[in-house]
Amino acid sequence: MHAHDGSRTVLSMRLLLLRHGQTPSNVEGILDAAYPGPGLTTLGHAQARAVPAALAHEDIAAIHVSRLLRTHETAAPLAASRGLSPRLTEGIEEIRAGIHQGRQDAEAVDAYQDNHHRWSAGELEGGLPGGETGREFWDRWTRALRHIADQHAEDATVVVISHGAAIRVFASVAGGLGAASLSERPLYNTGLVTLVGGPAAGWRVEDWISSPVGGDHLLGGTAHDVTADDEADAKV
């Protein structure tokens, strides 16, 4: 993408932040940020298979994935269709759940979601016990996106397959959207947030597609998908 700054043309990278396909933990409302994590459900694989057609109009330079299995399985159909090998990138993992890892009760879910809102409001110094502070989360994502940007042309379009809460919070903070954006902008499995800019200039939100890019028929049950939607309920 090209933008104009007076007489100077500024090149802008586009990062397509794609949330992974559905996992059993999403269905059950389990807070699960641990490695290697679960693979995709049958619906999750269908969501992943729909991604190549949905992004057919994009000139994709590369696909980056996190360490967690679900991002690799989501990337596979797109990578095969483009003849690309997904690049494992440290730092774009989900927000760590700390002492709430593996839980699905209301107390844990409320604590996890409240933490997102504080970070999105700019309160980055705190965090969950046993997890990470907002500053640590911001710094690891910023480093990871800088590492990604350094590998590609300044105006490249790059797919980054990551995780619901992490994408929502980073995009909200980077784009200056504020904490209210988390309630207003869910991100269901294979939803897509597009960032434009670069490490030096910063990132702005160009687009936010809450539903699966392959269509609403792939949405499935989201009642307990607590990292996608702050209106989702705890399972127990």
Rounded to a whole number of angstroms, the CA Rg of the chain reads: 17
Q: Cβ distance 27 to 224 under 8 Å? A: yes
Q: What is the dihedral of CA 166, 170, 173, 175, to 10 degrees?
A: -130
Does the active-site annotation cover 136? no
The DSSP symbol for 170 reads H
Q: What letter would DSSP give residue 85?
A: -
Tokens of residue 105, six digits: 């009760």
Q: Give the residue from 174, 198, 222 showing the smallest Cα distance to 19.
A: 222
Q: CA-to-CA distance for 137 and 127, rounded, in angstroms?
A: 9
- Answer yes or no: are the C-beta atoms of 112 and 161 closer than 8 Å: no
Which candidate, 224, 217, 229, 160, places its Cα nearest to that of 188? 229
Residue in 56, 42, 77 with CA at minimum distance from that of residue 161: 77
What are the start-end ranges of the H helices in 83-225? Answer: 106-120, 134-150, 164-174, 180-184
Could you say which of 73, 93, 94, 132 is catalytic? 94
Half-sphere exposure of 53 (CA within 13 A, CB side): 8
Q: Does the annotation mark 117 as catalytic? A: no
Catalytic residues: 20, 94
